Structure 1
């Protein structure tokens, strides 16, 4: 079954980044520096996280690369908590939540993943405004809180309804926090009021949905082999009585509609900002950078997934 979009899909009209091999190598090295022991190094090596960072974060400042690499190292390691055989999902997630405070102090004692997150957060938070920190913490808490709900679906072998799944998936994919980090990566924060406009919120939501739904398709074979039940393709199959191929096609139809909606929101936001008094050149530069970053993330996700061993199926669960 084909799991990548057709060559003429609108996703491939988004700007692509072909990062320099030297940059990818440098970022991979930065990611691996956060590993504790050979097992973590092996897991992180398979993610090709350096390529994802290089593709998804245009304008990444050199001094922001190490903390960003630390975030992705933590993210890929904590994602193992989603495996169906990990019974302690919710308990570990609740302990991780305890490390997230607006004004970070010394890293607390606790599980390695909690200490890792605390160290990363210290290095990110010190550069960002209070508003940005509140937004990022909210999105990260949504991500960790989603563990509990996904664990319940797995425990009872229940496939969510589409209405349930759309809301849960926006949180469980961690993409909202990763999009917040576009501003950290470049050192350009969008004014808080612009973030709350219907237009930018719409762009943010559409970009999030594009990334998580594409991820559901490209990871489908792997997730079927580990008997995953929380996947958008399976949700569509069950709710609408579709074949796997029909469900995949419907996902990519939704992705195309989301990208068109993203562009419509972008045009409306540009018109509004052109007559909005008080916006500075710096504000508009930050907004343009953030917009370009969201486009980069949508495209980077599919390009990186094509190279990543993470989405080749693992052996079937016993």
Structure 2
């Protein structure tokens, strides 16, 4: 269905994007040089963003791609902190990220490479639009950090959230609102609250992001079962709905397909909204153009996520020497809190 209904596209800057993000990972000390050389391109992090934010200015796409790569490294650090029960290290990182989000310029020289790189990303992302967008983005990411903290507590205590709770938490740990916020600098236009809260626009955004999160759950299920992970829609269905693994996979697939149907319906409704916005005024026309680009890029998220999960080495668990430990990370279990420190 994805290959037929959602043709794959890539931003023309993609080949250079791959090189520059690889260089940024090295510069910021987020991955050891040997890991970058061997795995960075195969992880396809830049492919994911280059398939989503089409039409973005090069400097915006570069900032988003670097931030996305940081996000994956942060996710891996979080996982290793859980595995090795590094409670103090995780709490320190959580608090530093909250602080860097509000005052990134104060953390550019932070001893932890993850914090310094995050500060670098925030300064760049905050430079594209106005203060109101920056405040909204920061508020959304504060929620993401807290959601990761909730996941940390759940995993270290062996608690598997019930399905409804999990779905609410997943919208935060997957950072739904962050990726939707970033549509705006990619379109050179901040979207007013009246449009953000329009039911059709909101439904389209949630559908593309829920698809991404649940398709991720589907594709990462083998990896997460191998790593004793507890945060996956399939695992919640098995634990709390009494499903077999096969039935849980079928149910996740059903929900994924439902997201596609919801988006296609919402896409038609947003087309009507765009027509209403296109009123010939100096404000209406640019806004209509931005909303049109945003809904087009929401559509791109389906194909980008689909191909990412089938091409990225992040999900090729059968090729790993240890199915519970990804080969592209440096596991610093013997040195609590040291992973990623420059």
Deviation at 1:291, TM superposition (A): 0.6
Residue range with higher mean Cα deviation, 196-205 or 217-226: 196-205
Q: TM-score, normalised by structure 2?
A: 0.82
- Decide whether the 8 Å contact of 1:32 with 1:73 is kept in 2: no
Q: Could you tell me how far apart the structure 2 residues matched to 1:82 and 1:219 are?
A: 16
- Decide whether the 8 Å contact of 1:90 with 1:151 is kept in 2: no
Q: Could you tell me how far apart the structure 2 residues matched to 1:205 and 1:222 are?
A: 25
Q: Could you tell me how far apart the structure 2 residues matched to 1:112 and 1:237 are?
A: 38
For residue 43 of structure 2, what is the aligned residue in structure 1? 47
Deviation at 1:273, TM superposition (A): 4.7
- Out of 83, 91, 114, the residue aligned to residue 85 of structure 1 is 83
Q: Does 1:173 align with 2:177?
A: no
- Secondary structure of the residue aligned to 1:306 is helix
For residue 60 of structure 1, what is the aligned residue in structure 2? 56
Q: Could you tell me how far apart the structure 2 residues matched to 1:43 and 1:75 are?
A: 16
Deviation at 1:47, TM superposition (A): 1.8
Structure 1: runs of 5 or more not aligned: 1-8
For residue 17 of structure 2, what is the aligned residue in structure 1? 27
- Decide whether the 8 Å contact of 1:94 with 1:145 is kept in 2: no
Structure 2: runs of 5 or more not aligned: 326-342
For residue 99 of structure 2, what is the aligned residue in structure 1? 98
Q: Could you tell me how far apart the structure 1 residues matched to 2:35 and 2:73 are?
A: 8
Q: Does 1:308 align with 2:312?
A: yes
- Decide whether the 8 Å contact of 1:210 with 1:298 is kept in 2: yes
Q: Could you tell me how far apart the structure 1 residues matched to 2:197 and 2:104 are?
A: 25
Deviation at 1:154, TM superposition (A): 0.8
Residue-by-residue CA offset, 1:64-110 (whole Å, 9 max, x unaligned): 23312221221111011231315233431221111112x75454443
Residue range with higher mean Cα deviation, 258-267 or 247-256: 258-267
Q: Could you tell me how far apart the structure 1 residues matched to 2:204 and 2:257 are?
A: 14
Deviation at 1:163, TM superposition (A): 1.0
For residue 191 of structure 2, what is the aligned residue in structure 1? 190
Q: Could you tell me how far apart the structure 2 residues matched to 1:14 and 1:184 are?
A: 27
Q: Could you tell me how far apart the structure 2 residues matched to 1:44 and 1:175 are?
A: 24
Q: Could you tell me how far apart the structure 2 residues matched to 1:194 and 1:12 are?
A: 30
Measured at CA, do residues 272 and 183 of structure 1 come closer, stay the same or move farther in structure 2, by a change above 3 Å?
A: closer
- Decide whether the 8 Å contact of 2:162 with 2:236 is kept in 1: yes
- Decide whether the 8 Å contact of 2:108 with 2:117 is kept in 1: no
Measured at CA, do residues 253 and 90 of structure 1 come closer, stay the same or move farther in structure 2, by a change above 3 Å?
A: farther
Deviation at 1:16, TM superposition (A): 2.3
Root-mean-square deviation (CA), in Å? 2.4
Work out the number of aligned pairs and report it.
307
Residue-by-residue CA offset, 1:270-306 (whole Å, 9 max, x unaligned): 3345346676111111001111111111221111110
- Decide whether the 8 Å contact of 1:219 with 1:312 is kept in 2: no
- Decide whether the 8 Å contact of 2:9 with 2:300 is kept in 1: no
Residue-by-residue CA offset, 1:9-58 (whole Å, 9 max, x unaligned): 4x4444222438x8433111121122224156256444211211221221
Deviation at 1:150, TM superposition (A): 0.6
For residue 76 of structure 1, what is the aligned residue in structure 2? 72
